[in-house]
A = this chain, B = another copy of it.
């Protein structure tokens, strides 16, 4: 157990607050498009070409597999996603986005990934530094953070 610097502790606090702020942004993006948070998260992870098994989506959504049934049902009812019977293993169902689903996902991605002004206003050099820092964060702490 090593003692943490004041800076390190404040960084963790700031990350937490940033998470809360970002959560609000995601929440509102969902509301504006008639998607509950888990529905938006599902849409976020699905693709149009590469099928994703229900169990894999459950993993990504951090919930039990049984819940995915209902969440995907609703996306399917809105014509945003579809189930495709697996070829190798017929127990598996591959989830795919429809054209409408892909369009909505792209729209939401564009909205949620638009760089905040505080990023745009950094110098190019500072942006590269921050980018490298965040890459390191994700590489080294995926399981831990």
**Which residues of chain B are within 8 angstroms of A136 by Cβ–Cβ distance?**
118
Q: Report the interface size for chain A: residues with CB under 8 A from the other chain.
A: 53
| A23, CB-defined interface residue at 8 Å | yes
Tallying the copies of this chain within the complex gives 2
Pairwise interchain contact A119-B12, C-beta atoms closer than 8 A: yes
Does A74 have its Cβ within 8 Å of any Cβ on chain B?
Answer: no
Which partner residue on chain B sits nearest A4 by CB separation? Answer: B115
CA distance A74 to B126 in the complex (A): 46
Residue A7 CB within 8 A of the other chain: yes
Residues of chain A touching chain B, judged by Cβ–Cβ distance below 8 Å, are: 2, 4-5, 7-19, 21-27, 62, 112-120, 122, 124, 126-131, 133-142, 144-145
